[in-house]
Amino acid sequence: MDEKTLLQAHRRVLFNCESEVVENYKKEHIAEIKRSHRKRRLTQHQLDCMHFDTFSEWFKEKVKELEATFILKNVIVLARGPSYIAKRFNAYDGNNGYLFRTKQSEEHLETQNSGVMVVSKTKSYASSSDNAPKGIMEDDLDFTVVNFSRLADSGDQERHEPFIFAEQAQQVIFVQDPQDCEWFVPRLIKPRDVFDMGEENSAQFESSMLSDSTDLAILENSHILEYENNDWVRLIQKFILKLL
């Protein structure tokens, strides 16, 4: 991976991993930014952008200073970031009923498995004077439509976020708007092997599986302590998925 892609992947992990230690470092970094700009008070937008742009490098240097002392190995791995060497695949089995393929690999296929959707929960900093055309909107029928010629996060710029975790990916097909061919309607696809059993049948099934689930939980809990400090780092690095 090149430097820009490596940084984008590293940021994705740091700003989305569930680690109390990393969260504490984030708070320390934000406090340090505020102290260094006391004479010129930053807006929340400026503070967020500065934190996003500089945290990964600050975190790496901070952990490097403390590496000689006691510090969790997982934190050291997170601070160093991903490897420059990455494998590229034409397909990905999400292990949740979804099978994704790259657009290039399905050019001559009748099926479409390259559509990826992520529900994003972010603040919008667009001002009232920002009238630039966006790549996503709601049409007159309240359908969400997207325009791939107006991507907000194409990955071209360093601040873009083209990566997601595989567990966040949902599969869609993009249906072209017959009245405006530049716009597409994403339609969510149900995962394979998932069936609507109805509420009554689902309740009976869950009840029949309860005893088995309890036994399995006892077995799984016996291994949690052994692996809880290592597995989540490996899973983060294994399942980070670049938008196809």
What pLDDT digit, counting tens, does each position of 59-117 carry? 999 998 887 777 788 888 999 988 888 888 888 887 667 788 888 888 788 777 888 87
* Same-domain status, 146 and 81: no
* Same-domain status, 175 and 97: yes
Separation of first and last alpha carbons in the chain: 16
Entry pTM: 0.62
Position 172 in a domain? yes
* Same-domain status, 66 and 134: no
Q: Which of 171, 188, 205 is the last residue of a domain?
A: 188
Determine the residue type at 77. Answer: V
Position 202 in a domain? no
Position 149 in a domain? yes
As for how many domains the chain has, the answer is 2
Position 134 in a domain? yes
* Same-domain status, 96 and 147: yes
In which order are the strands placed within the sheet that holds 136-138? 116-117, 170-176, 184-188, 144-146, 136-138
Position 232 in a domain? no
Q: Where are the beta strands (DSSP E) in 54-117?
A: 91-93, 99-101, 116-117
* Same-domain status, 96 and 184: yes
Position 45 in a domain? yes
**Which structural domain, as residue segments, surrounds residue 56?**
3-85
Q: How many helices (H) and strands (E) does the chain have?
A: 6, 9
* Same-domain status, 30 and 104: no
What pLDDT digit, counting tens, does each position of 176-232 carry? 888 888 899 888 887 765 555 555 555 554 554 454 444 444 444 544 444 444 444
* Same-domain status, 122 and 61: no
